[in-house]
Amino acid sequence: MARRSGRIPWNAIRDDTETAAEPVAFTGVVDFQQAQLEAARAYRLDRQAGQPACTELFCETAGMVPQLAAVAEPFGVPCYSGSGYNSLPGKRGAAHRAAEGGHAAVHAVAGQMMSSASRSRTNANSGSASARPATAAPPPVCSVRR
């Protein structure tokens, strides 16, 4: 309600719930030519081409991807959502990209730092059978797998 009434700026709260798929279309030849000029200005070579390994950055949630990409993009490092903490779809996608590219991969994982006691309470409250004991070490905030 605060955003709708204007008390809080609309972009002050991150909300990635809208998804769109729009067709590429142009209003005419001049519009198409302008788009090509803009694409030419943005042209750059793959910064990881020819390297012995390709670096990829992963995060737990899709909402973090734009934030991490803003930091990683200038270095040519792609960012992906792992579709949940340590999930299989993210790992499978990374394995397919490495196999298709024929190169080794370095995966940096940026995750949420949560104390083991908090994690146990969270898992216990959700009824999860995988609740960790309070003495377990939390996962690293950022880990690199090669």
Closest CA to 131 of 118, 112, 142, 141: 118
Q: Report pLDDT for 19.
A: 77
Q: Report pLDDT for 131.
A: 44
The amino acid at 110: A
Per-residue pLDDT averaged across 100-106, rounded?
Answer: 81
Q: Report pLDDT for 69.
A: 92
Report the alpha-carbon distance of residue 33 to residue 123 in Å, rounded. 55
Highest mean pLDDT among 37-51, 59-73, 86-100, 124-138: 37-51
Q: Are 79 and 69 in contact (CB under 8 A)?
A: yes
Residue 139: band (very low, low, confident or very high) from pLDDT cuts 50, 70, 90: very low
Query: For the whole model, what pTM was predicted?
Result: 0.58
Q: Give me 125's structure tokens.
A: 């409250």
